[in-house]
Amino acid sequence: MLQVRDFLEANASRTPGKLALVCGEQRLGYAELDARADRVAHALRDRGVQRGDRVVLWGHNGPELVAGIFGVAKASAVFVVANDTSKAAQVDYLVRDCRAKVLVTTARHAADAAAMLDAPGPLVAALIAGRAGAGPVDQRLGDFDAIAARGAAGRPPRDGIDRDLACLVYTSGSTGQPKGVMCAHHQVAFASASILAYLGMGAEDVVLCALPLSFDYGLYQLLMTCRSGGTLVLERSFAYPAECLERIAAERVTGLPGVPTLWALLLGLDLSHFDLSSVRFLTNTAAALPPHHAQRLQQIFPRARIFAMYGLTETKRTLYLPPEHLASRPGSVGFPIPGTEVWIENDAGERLGANQVGELVVRGGHVMSGYWEAPEATAQRFRPGPLPGEHVCRTGDLFQRDEQGFHFFVGRRDDILKCRGEKVAPREVENVLHELTSVREAVVLGEPDPVLGQAIVAVVVRADPGLDAAAVLRHCKQRLEDFKVPSRVEFVAELPKTSTGKVKRNAIVLPPRRT
Amino acid sequence: MTTDADRRTQLRAFLASNFLLSKEEFPHADDASLLGEGVVDSTGVLELILFLEQTFGLQIEDHEATPRNLDSVLRILAFVDGKLGSAGR
């Protein structure tokens, strides 16, 4: 029965004065956050947004993005969060792909929003946060801050049900074009309840999130904290670790979600200046937590339970290792999350036993509804389950489990890279490289990197000998999110090919890194 | 001897060439937020610190790496000034 709006509304009724959100200097209680989201919902409805319509939110972590997410949910519409470092062309793709009616963004992207409104397309309006003082430049660009502070108030009508879509979470696919994972309210409610249960999270918890809300791991920190009545300390990024660490002490943070890149940065710091004693749990997902990092984190956070986890957007979270097994089962990501099951099968679809490698398949209420308007991709990933009308998810990831049922990640079946915990499709970066007429051929590879997980390397055959690495990187930065931009560019005379002319990726020998 | 104006020029040139990969002048105002304008990201801050240490002969402690000290050209210059001053130069 629960919808995402209920997470917020229930606690706004129960504990209106309790601190819900800390962003920099701003501190919002549950009732205040709820009221802001109500006003955003009314403004969206005034602009023609109806039940099931999509609204794209393009901005950095902050109170505006949070009020925007819940505002869309309260309008019974579907929120789609775009990474703040996404470029205008990428956001334009999302807007068109999901046929978004409204774009909510920040002053930094206002000119891009205006251009998207000018071009023929689905958008009818945009709301701009942080444009105070700029005046009414363009009637179609609404003033988000004025709306959130002074717009029409009161609970918007409740005309959706829990089978409706709550959000689309776009994820990179091997074809290079991101696909929107359709997440219905009941699936989000199931996944968040299961995760809250194993983390043992409650109203007393204070979670610090430096992960972008465009990333489902970041988004669920918000949803789960609001659902449990706790407090979210939302950081814009982990760019200034010292600031985040000071905030841990100042706000008595109890929960710290991260990805291996964040832990690697943290472990490289002198932590003696910071009081980290309040932290009682750490979570890791998106890429494997190296066992020696787990050990060192345990020394730094002696009171903390450390959860090694695995998941994919298509099922939100899939496996977690109960912390008491961290030391005895290094490298394992444990068991299915509560209320779900998984199995490992071979290419013939037969279930495998212990110590055999096969594809992980997932069943449960957290299996999402498929990809937005992509029936073929959906059919590949989501397969009919044991009961009529049910779907299970093929993860595309190879796993094995031991006799005691502990699961171990073995590898990916596709060529997707993980950089800073985010998925990068080599094809997407290659497509961008091929836009340069001075590039004859380009291949994108990953190489192991102690901080990034995998560093992105572009291997380029030049058509114009004058092309330099800076020009290649400049082009990538203009077209791609930060985490998709190659760490280095290597120029080669030719690429190894098969007899049919296909590039042999595995045969490319990378020159050593220059330091 | 390095003057404040020299430092500003060096810093702006580094920001333009290293983060924007541009041969043009750094396009943002001295008080613009480097994070807010998308000039630096999390790995960028580490590169910025390395540049400041090597160029101006400073030692920047981990706890000093905050937006208060580093998030705009003006803040960086004031921070560098304070560090060099406190080092007795």
Q: For the residues A245-270, what does the mean pLDDT come to?
A: 93
Pair A95, A116: CB distance under 8 Å = yes
pLDDT value of position B2: 65
Q: How far apart are CA A364 and CA A392, in angstroms?
A: 7
DSSP letters spanning A256-267: EEE-HHHHHHHH
pLDDT value of position A414: 80
Contact status of A236 with chain B (Cβ, < 8 Å)? yes
- CB burial string B58-89: b at 16+ within 10 A, e below: bebebbbbbbebbbbbebbbebbeebeeeeee
Using only the alpha carbons of chain A, give its radius of gyration.
Answer: 23
Q: How far apart are CA A223 and CA A5, in angstroms?
A: 10
Look at A239 and B21 and tell me if their CB atoms are within 8 Å: no
Q: How far apart are CA A319 and CA A1, in angstroms?
A: 25
Look at B21 and A473 and tell me if their CB atoms are within 8 Å: yes
The domain A238-414 is placed in CATH, from the list 3.40.50.12780, 3.40.630.10, 3.40.50.2300, 3.30.565.10, at 3.40.50.12780
Whether residue A462 is predicted with pLDDT greater than 50 in this model: the reply is yes
The pLDDT-based confidence of A252 (bands split at 50, 70, 90) is very high
Domain covering A417-507 assigned CATH 3.30.300.30 in the classification: yes
Contact status of A348 with chain B (Cβ, < 8 Å)? no
pLDDT value of position A86: 92
Among A353, A312, A352, A306, smallest CA distance to A332 is for A306
Mutate to test the interface with B, among A90, A240, A244, A271 (most CBs of B within 10 A): A240
Query: What pairing do the DSSP bridges indicate for beta strands A125-129 and A102-106?
Result: parallel
Whether residue B89 is predicted with pLDDT greater than 50 in this model: the reply is no
Ramachandran class of A24: left when φ > 0, alpha when ψ lies in -120 to 50, beta otherwise? left
Burial label for A498, CB within 10 Å (0-12, 13-18, 19+), is exposed
Instruction: Using DSSP, state whether A184 is helix, strand or coil.
Output: strand
Whether residue A280 is predicted with pLDDT greater than 60 in this model: the reply is yes
Of B20, B38, B67, the CB nearest to A243: B67
What are the angstrom distances between the C-alpha of A92 and each of A115, A191, A436?
Answer: 10, 30, 21
Contact status of A238 with chain B (Cβ, < 8 Å)? yes
Pair A126, A113: CB distance under 8 Å = yes
The pLDDT-based confidence of B1 (bands split at 50, 70, 90) is low
The pTM (predicted TM-score) of the whole model is 0.90
Domain covering A1-9+27-183 assigned CATH 2.60.40.420 in the classification: no
List the single range of A131-135, A153-157, A204-208, A443-447 with lowest mean pLDDT.
A131-135
CA triplet A183, A184, A189: central angle to 5 degrees? 100
Residue-wise pLDDT for A472-496, tens only, equals 998 998 889 888 999 999 999 988 8
Q: What value of ipTM does the predicted structure carry?
A: 0.78
Whether residue A197 is predicted with pLDDT greater than 60 in this model: the reply is yes
The pLDDT-based confidence of B40 (bands split at 50, 70, 90) is confident
**Percent of chain A having pLDDT more than 90?**
77
pLDDT value of position B85: 83
Residue-wise pLDDT for A16-57, tens only, equals 999 999 999 999 999 999 999 999 999 999 999 999 999 999
Partners of A362 in beta bridges: A342, A393
Whether residue B29 is predicted with pLDDT greater than 90 in this model: the reply is yes
Q: For the residues A97-126, what does the mean pLDDT come to?
A: 96
Higher pLDDT, A199 or A493: A199
Whether residue A245 is predicted with pLDDT greater than 80 in this model: the reply is yes
In chain B, residues with a C-beta closer than 8 Å to the C-beta of A261 are 42
Taken in order of first residue, the domains within chain B and their CATH numbers are 4-20+29-86 (1.10.1200.10)
In chain A, residues with a C-beta closer than 8 Å to the C-beta of B46 are 265
Look at A240 and B22 and tell me if their CB atoms are within 8 Å: no
Residue-wise pLDDT for A139-168, tens only, equals 789 999 999 999 999 999 999 999 999 999
* For chain A, domain boundaries: 1-9+27-183, 238-414, 417-507
pLDDT value of position B87: 57
- Other beta carbons less than 10 A from residue A493's beta carbon: 6
Q: How far apart are CA A266 and CA A240, in angstroms?
A: 10
Look at A108 and B40 and tell me if their CB atoms are within 8 Å: no
Domains A238-414 and A417-507 share a fold: no
What are the angstrom distances between the C-alpha of A200 and each of A14, A124, A280?
Answer: 20, 43, 11
Partners of A179 in beta bridges: A171
The pLDDT-based confidence of A305 (bands split at 50, 70, 90) is very high
Q: For the residues B11-35, what does the mean pLDDT come to?
A: 88
Q: For the residues A256-263, what does the mean pLDDT come to?
A: 92
Q: Which chain B residue has its CA at the smallest distance from A247's CA?
A: B66
Look at B62 and A265 and tell me if their CB atoms are within 8 Å: no
Q: Which amino acid is at A87?
A: K
Q: For the residues A160-182, what does the mean pLDDT come to?
A: 91
Q: Which chain B residue has its CA at the smallest distance from A242's CA?
A: B63
Instruction: Using DSSP, state whether B60 is helix, strand or coil.
Output: coil
Q: Write A469-473 long-range contacts (CB < 8 A, 24+).
A: A470/B17, A470/B21, A471/A436, A471/A438, A471/B21, A472/A433, A472/A436, A472/A439, A473/B21
Residue A394, token pair as written in the block: 């093929």
- Other beta carbons less than 10 A from residue A363's beta carbon: 19
- Output the average pLDDT for chain A: 93
Residue-wise pLDDT for A377-426, tens only, equals 999 999 999 999 999 999 999 999 999 999 999 988 888 888 888 888 88
